[in-house]
Amino acid sequence: MFKAGRVPLIVTLWLVCVALSQGEELITDDWQVTLQEARGQTVYFHGWGGSTEANRYLRWAAQEIQQQYGVRLQHVRLGDVSESVALVRQEMVNNQARSAVDLIWVNGKNFHALKDVGALLGELSARVPNAALLDPEQPFTEDFGVPTDDYELPWGMAQFHLWIKNEELQEDGAVTPRSLLEYAQRNPGRITYPKPPEFHGTTFLKQLLLALSGDDPRLQAPITDEARSELFELLFTYLDTLHPYAWRQGQAFPNSAAEQQRLMLDGRLSMAPNFNPAALTGLQARGQVSNHVRQTSFGATAITNHHFLAIPKASVNQAGALVVLNFLLSEDAQRQKADPQIWGDPPVIKFSESKDVVGMPFPPAPEPHVTWHDALESAWRARYE
C-alpha cells in the first residue's frame, strides 16, 4: 500500500508536526475546540446499572466533570445494557442521523454487535488525549478475541475468580475441577454457575475447559472440528457428572453472577463467580459480605479481560462524550475508581507514582479464541436448556 509518490507528503506532514513543537500542540488545539464545543452539553451515558459501587463512582465523576468542564453527565442505568445496544442497532437500521446514546459501557458480544454494523466512532485514541496514558502492557487491543480497532477504549480490568465460603473447595490454593466435583458429591446442591450465555456463566465454562485440558493451545486458535469434538467431550463428560450434585440438580441455574452471589450470602450455595478481584475487600469492610468469604482462582490461571467505553458515531453530544471519556481515563479518575472503598475496579493507565495500585491477584490467562465462545454457548444450550 505504500506508494513512493506519497513520501514528500508524509515528510511535509512530519515537518509540520515538528514545527508545531513536540506534536503536542496539534492535539491541544483540536482538544481546545472539543472542550469549547462540549461546554453546556449533556452526555447520556448508557450502562448496566446494577453495581452500586459503579453508580456512586459515576455520581462523583459527574460532579467533577460538571465543575471542571461544564459538561453534564447523565448516567442512564439499565437492567441490561444490551437494551441500549439493540436501540443503537435499530437506529442504524432506521438510518437515523442522531443517536440517543452518547457514550456506552460495553464489552464482548455487545461491542461486536455495535462494531459489526458500523455504529461506533473510530480513532478514539487520537481523539482522546488521555489515551496516551493507557498502560501498554495490558492486552486491551482485543475484546473477547475481536480486535477493538480503536472503536472502544478500555475503562477497567477484570479477572475471573470464585468467591468461596468453604476451604474444602480448594486444593493447592485454587479450586480445581476435581476439588469442585468432590466437594459437590459430598455436599449436594451447593455448587452451580450462572446460566450461559450470561458472561460469567460462559467464562466459567471457558475456565473449566482451560483447566480440564491443561491450557490446550488449540483453545487460542480458531476452533476446528477435531479440537471441538475432543475438548467438548472432556467438558461435557465433566458437567454430566457434576450436574446431578449441583444446585437444583442442574435443572435450573442462577440468571446472573449477582443472583448467585445473593444465593451464596443466603447460605444456600458455597461458591459464586466474580470478575472484580478488588471488590471483596470493600464489600467486607461495609459488612455486605461475611468475612468468611475468600476469593480464589478457578484452575491455575484466571481469564483476564477488560471492560470498555465506546461512542456511537451518531451521538448528538459527541464533544461532551469525548470530554467525559477523557476524564474517566485521567489519573485522578482512575485512582478514585481503583480505591476499594469506592469501587475497586483495577486501573487501565500507568500511574505516575505507583503506590498502592491494585494489581491482578492471579496469573492471567487470555480469553480463548472468539470462535470457542459461540461454540461453547450453543453446545451448552443444545445440551442443557
Partner 1 sequence: MSKGAGRLFMSGGILMLTGLFLLPLGLAVIGLIPVTASIFAADFWEFIGEPSVRQSLGISLVLGVLPPLLAGYTAFWFLSRRSQLPTWIAPLLAMPHVAFAVGMGLLLLPGGLASRMLPGSWEFFQSLFVDKSLSFLVVVLWLKELPFVLLMTAVALHSAPLKQWRLVARTFGYRDIDYFWRLVFPYLLKKLRLPLCVVAIYGVSVVDVASVVGPNTPGPLAVRVLGWSQEFTDLSQQRALWGTALLFIMGLVTLAFVWLHERCACLWASRQLSQGVPVSRRVVHLYQEFGRIMGTAGVYLSILLTGAAFFTLILWSVIESWPVHTMIPQAWTWSHWQWEWEEVVNALMQTGFLALGVASGALIFVVVALELEAKTQRQLPDILMLLPLIIPQLALVFIWQQVVGVHSLTAPFLWVFWAQLIFAISYVWLTLAATYRRFSRIWLLQAKVLGYSDMQAWVKIKLRMLLAPLILAWTVAFSVSVLLYLPTVILGAGRVITITVEATAYGSGFDRSLAALYAFAQVVLPLVVFIGGAWLARRFRVEDPATGRAEA
Interface contacts to partner 1, rule CB under 8 A: 44, 46, 48-52, 56, 74, 76-80, 82-87, 89-91, 93-94, 96-98, 100-101, 109-110, 112-113, 116, 195, 197, 248, 250-253, 255-258, 261-263, 265-268, 286-288, 290, 316, 374, 381, 384-385
Measured CA to CA in angstroms, residue 305 lies from 5, 159, 203, 216, 300 at distances of 42, 6, 11, 19, 16
Question: Which of 123, 148, 92, 143 has the alpha carbon at shortest distance from 84?
Answer: 92
Taking the least distance from each CB to partner 1, the nearer of 49 and 366 is: 49
Which is closer to partner 1, CB of 38 or CB of 101?
A: 101
Alpha carbons within 13 angstroms on the beta-carbon side of residue 288 total: 11
| CA proximity to 273, closest of 182, 159, 135, 118 | 159
Residue count of the chain: 385
Residue 43 φ/ψ, nearest 5 degrees: -100, 120
Nearer to partner 1 among residue 206 and residue 243 (C-beta): 243
CB of 58 to partner 1, least distance (A): 11
Nearest approach, Cβ of 135 to partner 1 (angstroms)?
28
Q: Decide whether 178 or 248 has the Cβ nearer to partner 1.
A: 248
What are 106's strand-pairing partners?
308
Q: Tell me the C-alpha distance between 53 and 233, whole Å.
A: 40
What's the rounded Cα separation, in Å, for the pair 297 and 314? 41
Q: Output 98 or 355, the one with its CB closest to partner 1.
A: 98
Q: Is 157 helix (H, G, I), strand (E, B) or coil?
A: strand
> Residue 129 or 156: which CB sits closer to partner 1?
156
Q: How far is the CB of 385 from partner 1 (least distance, A)?
A: 5
Pick 134 or 271: Cβ nearer partner 1 = 271
Specify the residue, 261 or 304, whose C-beta has the smaller distance to partner 1: 261
Residue 248 CB, shortest distance to partner 1, in Å, is: 7
Least Å distance, CB 92 to partner 1, is 11
279 to 57, 196, 340, 370: CA distances (angstroms)? 13, 23, 6, 27
* Strands of 148-231, DSSP E: 153-159, 161-164, 170-171, 174-175
**CA gap 143, 331 in Å, rounded:** 23
Q: Could you tell me the smallest distance in angstroms from the CB atom of residue 121 to partner 1?
A: 17
| Residue given cell 472539543 in the structure block | 34
Long-range contacts (CB closer than 8 Å, 24 or more residues apart) made by 69-72: 69/35, 69/38, 69/39, 69/323, 69/327, 70/38, 70/39, 70/40, 71/38, 71/39, 71/40, 71/41, 71/42, 71/43, 71/320, 71/323, 71/324, 72/41, 72/42, 72/43, 72/320
The nearer residue to partner 1, 176 or 190, going by C-beta atoms, is: 190
Those residues whose C-beta lies under 8 Å from the C-beta of residue 93, and which sit 6 or more positions away, are none
CB of 111 to partner 1, least distance (A): 10
Residue 36 or 249: which CB sits closer to partner 1? 249
Min dist CB 382 to partner 1, Å, is 8
Least CB distance to partner 1 at residue 95 (A): 9
Q: How far is the CB of 18 from partner 1 (least distance, A)?
A: 43
